[in-house]
Protein backbone atom coordinates (compact mmCIF):
# COMPACT_ATOMS: atom_id res chain seq x y z
CA UNK A 1 0.00 0.00 0.00
CA UNK A 2 1.38 3.37 -1.01
CA UNK A 3 2.08 6.08 1.56
CA UNK A 4 -0.44 8.45 -0.04
CA UNK A 5 -3.17 5.82 0.45
CA UNK A 6 -2.34 5.51 4.15
CA UNK A 7 -2.29 9.26 4.68
CA UNK A 8 -5.21 9.89 2.30
CA UNK A 9 -3.00 12.37 0.46
CA UNK A 10 -3.82 13.60 -3.01
CA UNK A 11 -1.46 15.32 -5.38
CA UNK A 12 -2.29 18.85 -6.38
CA UNK A 13 -3.84 19.43 -9.77
CA UNK A 14 -1.05 21.19 -11.62
CA UNK A 15 -3.19 21.68 -14.72
CA UNK A 16 -5.92 23.69 -13.02
CA UNK A 17 -5.95 27.39 -12.24
CA UNK A 18 -3.96 28.45 -9.20
CA UNK A 19 -3.79 31.82 -7.43
CA UNK A 20 -0.07 31.28 -6.70
CA UNK A 21 2.84 31.99 -9.00
CA UNK A 22 4.72 28.88 -10.20
CA UNK A 23 8.15 28.03 -8.90
CA UNK A 24 11.20 29.35 -10.70
CA UNK A 25 11.94 26.00 -12.35
CA UNK A 26 8.44 25.85 -13.86
CA UNK A 27 8.85 29.04 -15.90
CA UNK A 28 9.51 28.37 -19.60
CA UNK A 29 12.64 30.32 -20.57
CA UNK A 30 14.61 30.35 -23.84
CA UNK A 31 17.13 27.56 -24.26
CA UNK A 32 20.56 28.41 -22.92
CA UNK A 33 19.32 31.11 -20.52
CA UNK A 34 19.72 30.93 -16.78
CA UNK A 35 16.16 31.00 -15.31
CA UNK A 36 17.06 33.28 -12.41
CA UNK A 37 18.87 35.82 -14.60
CA UNK A 38 16.15 35.74 -17.26
CA UNK A 39 13.36 36.33 -14.72
CA UNK A 40 15.22 39.22 -13.11
CA UNK A 41 15.45 40.96 -16.48
CA UNK A 42 12.26 39.93 -18.25
CA UNK A 43 10.10 38.56 -15.43
CA UNK A 44 6.75 40.02 -14.37
CA UNK A 45 6.86 43.20 -12.30
CA UNK A 46 4.14 42.87 -9.68
CA UNK A 47 3.00 46.27 -8.40
CA UNK A 48 2.22 46.49 -4.71
CA UNK A 49 0.95 49.28 -2.52
CA UNK A 50 -0.24 50.16 0.95
CA UNK A 51 -0.98 53.04 3.30
CA UNK A 52 0.91 53.34 6.57
CA UNK A 53 1.44 56.38 8.76
CA UNK A 54 2.91 57.40 12.08
CA UNK A 55 3.12 60.69 13.93
CA UNK A 56 4.52 61.88 17.25
CA UNK A 57 2.58 64.04 19.72
CA UNK A 58 2.75 64.93 23.39
CA UNK A 59 1.08 61.69 24.56
CA UNK A 60 3.25 59.30 22.56
CA UNK A 61 3.39 58.01 19.00
CA UNK A 62 0.45 56.91 16.85
CA UNK A 63 0.89 54.22 14.18
CA UNK A 64 -1.87 53.26 11.76
CA UNK A 65 -2.11 51.21 8.57
CA UNK A 66 -4.57 49.52 6.26
CA UNK A 67 -4.74 45.72 6.09
CA UNK A 68 -4.82 44.95 2.34
CA UNK A 69 -1.86 43.03 0.92
CA UNK A 70 -1.85 43.20 -2.86
CA UNK A 71 0.16 41.49 -5.58
CA UNK A 72 -0.49 43.27 -8.84
CA UNK A 73 -4.24 43.33 -9.39
CA UNK A 74 -4.71 40.42 -6.98
CA UNK A 75 -5.66 41.04 -3.33
CA UNK A 76 -3.56 38.43 -1.61
CA UNK A 77 -4.82 39.06 1.93
CA UNK A 78 -7.51 41.53 3.05
CA UNK A 79 -6.65 41.32 6.76
CA UNK A 80 -2.86 41.39 7.08
CA UNK A 81 -1.00 43.06 9.96
CA UNK A 82 1.27 45.87 8.77
CA UNK A 83 2.27 47.21 12.19
CA UNK A 84 4.80 44.82 13.74
CA UNK A 85 5.82 44.96 17.44
CA UNK A 86 9.55 44.73 18.14
CA UNK A 87 9.48 44.87 21.93
CA UNK A 88 7.28 46.40 24.63
CA UNK A 89 8.21 50.01 23.80
CA UNK A 90 8.94 49.76 20.06
CA UNK A 91 6.95 48.87 16.97
CA UNK A 92 7.10 49.72 13.29
CA UNK A 93 4.93 50.13 10.22
CA UNK A 94 5.83 48.03 7.17
CA UNK A 95 5.64 49.00 3.51
CA UNK A 96 7.21 47.23 0.55
CA UNK A 97 7.67 43.51 0.02
CA UNK A 98 5.92 41.63 2.82
CA UNK A 99 8.53 38.88 3.07
CA UNK A 100 11.39 41.40 3.26
CA UNK A 101 9.63 43.43 5.95
CA UNK A 102 8.86 40.43 8.15
CA UNK A 103 12.36 38.99 7.73
CA UNK A 104 14.16 42.20 8.65
CA UNK A 105 11.95 42.80 11.67
CA UNK A 106 12.85 39.32 12.88
CA UNK A 107 16.53 40.20 12.42
CA UNK A 108 16.06 43.52 14.24
CA UNK A 109 14.21 41.84 17.10
CA UNK A 110 17.04 39.31 17.49
CA UNK A 111 19.81 41.93 17.42
CA UNK A 112 18.06 44.15 19.96
CA UNK A 113 17.57 41.19 22.25
CA UNK A 114 21.27 40.29 22.03
CA UNK A 115 22.27 43.88 22.81
CA UNK A 116 19.94 43.93 25.80
CA UNK A 117 21.57 40.77 27.14
CA UNK A 118 25.08 42.17 26.63
CA UNK A 119 24.48 45.73 27.87
CA UNK A 120 21.72 45.15 30.41
CA UNK A 121 19.23 47.50 28.72
CA UNK A 122 17.50 47.93 25.40
CA UNK A 123 18.95 50.42 22.91
CA UNK A 124 17.15 53.70 22.31
CA UNK A 125 14.75 54.16 19.40
CA UNK A 126 17.45 56.10 17.56
CA UNK A 127 19.91 53.25 18.15
CA UNK A 128 17.45 50.67 16.85
CA UNK A 129 16.76 52.76 13.75
CA UNK A 130 20.48 53.24 13.10
CA UNK A 131 21.10 49.51 13.50
CA UNK A 132 18.36 48.60 11.02
CA UNK A 133 19.60 51.22 8.56
CA UNK A 134 23.19 49.93 8.65
CA UNK A 135 22.16 46.28 8.27
CA UNK A 136 19.91 46.91 5.26
CA UNK A 137 22.33 49.32 3.52
CA UNK A 138 24.66 46.40 2.82
CA UNK A 139 22.03 44.98 0.46
CA UNK A 140 21.58 48.18 -1.57
CA UNK A 141 20.84 47.40 -5.23
CA UNK A 142 19.67 43.82 -4.62
CA UNK A 143 15.90 44.47 -5.00
CA UNK A 144 15.36 44.66 -1.26
CA UNK A 145 12.20 46.71 -0.62
CA UNK A 146 11.57 47.75 2.98
CA UNK A 147 10.20 51.13 4.06
CA UNK A 148 9.35 51.42 7.73
CA UNK A 149 8.57 53.96 10.40
CA UNK A 150 9.96 52.97 13.81
CA UNK A 151 7.75 54.25 16.64
CA UNK A 152 8.90 54.02 20.23
CA UNK A 153 9.35 55.53 23.66
CA UNK A 154 12.71 55.59 25.36
CA UNK A 155 14.47 57.66 28.05
CA UNK A 156 14.22 60.80 25.91
CA UNK A 157 10.46 60.42 25.37
CA UNK A 158 8.45 59.57 22.25
CA UNK A 159 10.56 59.09 19.11
CA UNK A 160 9.82 58.46 15.43
CA UNK A 161 12.27 57.46 12.67
CA UNK A 162 11.89 56.54 9.02
CA UNK A 163 14.18 53.83 7.61
CA UNK A 164 14.44 52.70 3.99
CA UNK A 165 16.19 49.64 2.58
CA UNK A 166 18.92 51.72 0.86
CA UNK A 167 20.10 52.97 4.26
CA UNK A 168 18.08 56.19 4.41
CA UNK A 169 17.45 57.28 8.01
CA UNK A 170 15.25 60.27 8.89
CA UNK A 171 13.83 61.64 12.12
CA UNK A 172 10.59 63.60 12.19
CA UNK A 173 7.12 64.11 13.62
CA UNK A 174 5.01 62.80 10.71
CA UNK A 175 5.70 60.01 8.22
CA UNK A 176 3.42 58.26 5.76
CA UNK A 177 4.68 55.49 3.48
CA UNK A 178 3.07 53.61 0.62
CA UNK A 179 1.04 54.25 -2.50
CA UNK A 180 -1.69 55.92 -0.46
CA UNK A 181 0.69 58.25 1.40
CA UNK A 182 -0.08 61.39 -0.70
CA UNK A 183 -3.74 61.19 0.33
CA UNK A 184 -2.81 60.49 3.96
CA UNK A 185 -0.38 63.43 4.02
CA UNK A 186 -3.16 65.73 2.80
CA UNK A 187 -5.26 64.90 5.86
CA UNK A 188 -2.32 64.86 8.29
CA UNK A 189 -0.91 68.22 7.20
CA UNK A 190 -4.27 69.83 7.81
CA UNK A 191 -5.19 68.32 11.16
CA UNK A 192 -1.87 67.59 12.91
CA UNK A 193 -0.92 69.43 16.10
CA UNK A 194 1.72 68.31 18.54
CA UNK A 195 -0.43 69.26 21.56
CA UNK A 196 -3.57 67.41 20.41
CA UNK A 197 -5.44 65.15 22.80
CA UNK A 198 -5.34 61.36 22.58
CA UNK A 199 -8.84 61.09 21.09
CA UNK A 200 -8.02 63.77 18.51
CA UNK A 201 -4.92 61.81 17.53
CA UNK A 202 -6.94 58.60 17.15
CA UNK A 203 -9.51 60.40 15.00
CA UNK A 204 -6.84 61.99 12.80
CA UNK A 205 -5.06 58.69 12.15
CA UNK A 206 -8.29 56.86 11.33
CA UNK A 207 -9.44 59.66 9.05
CA UNK A 208 -6.14 59.81 7.16
CA UNK A 209 -6.00 56.07 6.45
CA UNK A 210 -9.73 55.89 5.61
CA UNK A 211 -9.43 58.66 3.02
CA UNK A 212 -6.33 57.02 1.54
CA UNK A 213 -8.08 53.66 1.17
CA UNK A 214 -10.95 55.40 -0.61
CA UNK A 215 -8.64 56.92 -3.25
CA UNK A 216 -5.86 54.33 -3.52
CA UNK A 217 -6.76 51.04 -5.25
CA UNK A 218 -3.95 49.13 -3.54
CA UNK A 219 -5.10 50.09 -0.02
CA UNK A 220 -8.20 48.85 1.74
CA UNK A 221 -9.60 46.34 4.18
CA UNK A 222 -9.51 47.69 7.72
CA UNK A 223 -7.67 50.39 9.66
CA UNK A 224 -5.34 49.16 12.41
CA UNK A 225 -4.48 51.70 15.11
CA UNK A 226 -1.63 51.47 17.64
CA UNK A 227 -0.52 53.87 20.38
CA UNK A 228 2.97 53.84 21.91
CA UNK A 229 2.88 55.25 25.45
CA UNK A 230 5.47 55.54 28.19
CA UNK A 231 4.15 52.27 29.62
CA UNK A 232 4.41 50.46 26.28
CA UNK A 233 2.54 50.05 23.01
CA UNK A 234 -1.21 49.46 22.92
CA UNK A 235 -3.37 47.98 20.17
CA UNK A 236 -6.26 50.45 20.08
CA UNK A 237 -8.68 49.20 17.44
CA UNK A 238 -9.37 47.70 14.03
CA UNK A 239 -12.16 49.37 12.02
CA UNK A 240 -13.54 48.56 8.60
CA UNK A 241 -12.17 51.20 6.23
CA UNK A 242 -15.33 51.56 4.12
CA UNK A 243 -17.62 51.82 7.15
CA UNK A 244 -15.27 54.35 8.70
CA UNK A 245 -15.18 56.45 5.53
CA UNK A 246 -18.97 56.35 5.24
CA UNK A 247 -19.33 57.55 8.84
CA UNK A 248 -16.85 60.35 8.21
CA UNK A 249 -18.84 61.51 5.19
CA UNK A 250 -21.85 62.13 7.44
CA UNK A 251 -19.95 64.46 9.77
CA UNK A 252 -19.97 68.22 9.07
CA UNK A 253 -16.70 69.80 7.99
CA UNK A 254 -15.00 72.65 9.85
CA UNK A 255 -15.78 75.20 7.12
CA UNK A 256 -19.49 74.47 7.35
CA UNK A 257 -19.48 74.88 11.12
CA UNK A 258 -17.69 78.23 10.82
CA UNK A 259 -20.21 79.46 8.24
CA UNK A 260 -23.12 78.53 10.51
CA UNK A 261 -21.56 80.45 13.41
CA UNK A 262 -20.86 83.55 11.32
CA UNK A 263 -23.45 86.40 11.15
CA UNK A 264 -25.14 86.33 7.71
CA UNK A 265 -25.51 90.16 7.32
CA UNK A 266 -22.72 92.20 8.85
CA UNK A 267 -22.90 95.99 8.35
CA UNK A 268 -20.02 97.63 6.49
CA UNK A 269 -18.35 100.92 7.23
CA UNK A 270 -20.95 102.96 5.29
CA UNK A 271 -23.88 101.36 7.05
CA UNK A 272 -24.71 99.12 4.10
CA UNK A 273 -24.46 95.39 4.44
CA UNK A 274 -21.02 94.40 3.29
CA UNK A 275 -20.70 91.69 0.67
CA UNK A 276 -18.90 88.75 2.16
CA UNK A 277 -16.60 86.47 0.25
CA UNK A 278 -18.02 84.14 -2.34
CA UNK A 279 -18.80 80.54 -1.63
CA UNK A 280 -15.69 78.83 -0.30
CA UNK A 281 -14.45 75.33 -0.99
CA UNK A 282 -16.62 72.37 -0.22
CA UNK A 283 -16.47 71.29 3.42
CA UNK A 284 -14.05 68.52 4.26
CA UNK A 285 -15.68 65.13 4.53
CA UNK A 286 -14.60 64.59 8.13
CA UNK A 287 -13.37 66.30 11.27
CA UNK A 288 -11.75 65.15 14.47
CA UNK A 289 -14.99 63.79 15.95
CA UNK A 290 -15.51 60.07 15.61
CA UNK A 291 -18.67 57.98 15.90
CA UNK A 292 -19.06 56.46 19.34
CA UNK A 293 -19.99 53.02 18.06
CA UNK A 294 -16.53 52.11 16.75
CA UNK A 295 -15.65 48.45 17.05
CA UNK A 296 -12.70 47.89 19.37
CA UNK A 297 -10.73 44.68 19.52
Strand partners, 171: 161
Query: What does DSSP say about strands 52-57 and 174-177: parallel, antiparallel, or unpaired?
Result: antiparallel
pLDDT (0 to 100) of residue 99: 85
Q: Does residue 292 have a pLDDT over 80?
A: no
Q: Does residue 197 have a pLDDT over 90?
A: yes
93 tagged catalytic: no
Q: Does residue 95 have a pLDDT over 80?
A: yes
Domains of the chain: residue spans and CATH: 52-249 (3.60.20.10)
| Residue pLDDT, tens place only, 122-177 | 889 999 999 999 999 988 878 788 999 999 999 999 999 999 988 899 999 999 99
Catalytic one of 50, 51, 93, 94: 50
Distance CA(235)–CA(133), nearest Å, equals 26
Q: Does residue 98 have a pLDDT over 70?
A: yes
Max CA pair span of the chain = 105
Average pLDDT (4-30) is 53
Average pLDDT (198-220) is 92
Average pLDDT over the chain reads 78
Where residue 272 falls among pLDDT bands split at 50, 70, 90? very low
Q: Does residue 12 have a pLDDT over 70?
A: no
SS3 content of the chain, % helix, strand, coil (to 5): 30, 25, 40
- Stated as kind and residue range, the H or E segment containing 130 is helix 125-137
Residues in CB range of 156: below 8 A, 6 or more apart: 124
Q: Does residue 15 have a pLDDT over 60?
A: no
Amino acid sequence: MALQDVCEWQALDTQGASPHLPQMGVWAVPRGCDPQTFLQIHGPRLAHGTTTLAFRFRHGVIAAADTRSSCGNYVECPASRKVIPVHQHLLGTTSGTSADCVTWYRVLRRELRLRALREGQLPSVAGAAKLLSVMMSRYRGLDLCVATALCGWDRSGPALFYVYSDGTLLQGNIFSVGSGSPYAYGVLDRGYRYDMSTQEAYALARRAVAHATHRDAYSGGCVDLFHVRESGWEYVSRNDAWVLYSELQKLPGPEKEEEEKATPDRAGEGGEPSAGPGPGPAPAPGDSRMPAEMETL
